[in-house]
Amino acid sequence: MTTPTRPVVKVIAVPSRGALEPVNVLLLPGEPVTLVDAGPVAGEAHLRAALVAAGHPLETVHQVILTQSHPDHAGLAVRLCAGSGARLLAHPDAATAVVDPTTARRFRADLIARAGRAAGTPADLLAAAIALDPDPPDAPPASPSAAIVRIGDRGRVLAGGVDWTVLHTPGPSRDHLSLYHAASGTLIGGDLLLRDRPTPLALEPSGAGGTRPHTLADLVSSWRRVARLTIRITWPGHGPAIRAHRMLVARRLAAARDRVRAARAAVEAGSTTLLELAAALGLSAAPPDLVATLGEVVAVGDWLVERGWCARSVVEGTIRLRPGRSDPSPGEQG
Predicted confidence band of residue 233 (pLDDT cuts 50, 70, 90)? very high
36 near 179, Cβ under 8 Å?
Answer: yes
Evaluate if residue 252 carries a pLDDT over 70: yes
Report how far residue 263's alpha carbon sits from residue 268's, in angstroms, rounded to the nearest whole number. 9
pLDDT (average), residues 64-88 = 91
> Taking all residues of the chain, what is their mean pLDDT, rounded to a whole number?
90
Residue 1: predicted pLDDT? 36
Residue 326: predicted pLDDT? 63
Evaluate if residue 3 carries a pLDDT over 60: no
Rounded alpha-carbon distances, angstroms, from residue 244 to 103, 178, 184, 250: 39, 17, 15, 10
Q: Spell out where 232-317 has E strands.
A: 233-236, 310-315
Residue 256: predicted pLDDT? 96
Phi first, then psi, for residue 322 (nearest 5°) are -140, 160
pLDDT (average), residues 302-308 = 93
Evaluate if residue 271 carries a pLDDT over 60: yes
DSSP state letter for 210: G
Residue 86, by phi and psi: left (phi above 0), alpha (psi -120 to 50) or beta?
beta
Residue 27: predicted pLDDT? 98
Residue 10 parent element (H or E): strand 10-14
Residues 128-162: pLDDT tens digits?
988 886 655 555 555 666 678 999 999 999 999 99
pLDDT (average), residues 71-78 = 89
Evaluate if residue 77 carries a pLDDT over 70: yes
Report how far residue 302's alpha carbon sits from residue 304's, in angstroms, rounded to the nearest whole number. 5
Residue 17, by phi and psi: left (phi above 0), alpha (psi -120 to 50) or beta?
beta
In sign, the C-alpha dihedral spanning 73, 77, 83, 84 is positive
Q: HEC states along 65-91?
A: ECCCCCHHHHCCHHHHHHHHCCEEEEC
For residue 136, give the nearest of 16, 50, 285 by alpha carbon: 16
pLDDT (average), residues 86-90 = 95
Residue 254: predicted pLDDT? 98
Residue 43: predicted pLDDT? 92
CA angle 7–12–13, rounded 5-degree value: 135
Predicted confidence band of residue 334 (pLDDT cuts 50, 70, 90)? very low
67 near 176, Cβ under 8 Å?
Answer: yes
Evaluate if residue 71 carries a pLDDT over 80: yes
Residues 189-213: pLDDT tens digits?
999 999 999 998 988 887 777 777 8
Q: Which domains does the chain have, with CATH numbers?
A: 10-323 (3.60.15.10)
Q: Is 217 helix (H, G, I), strand (E, B) or coil?
A: helix
Residue 200: predicted pLDDT? 87
pLDDT (average), residues 175-185 = 97
Identity of residue 190: G
**pTM attached to this predicted model:** 0.91
Compute the radius of gyration of the chain from its Cα atoms. 20
Neighbouring-strand partners of residue 13: 24
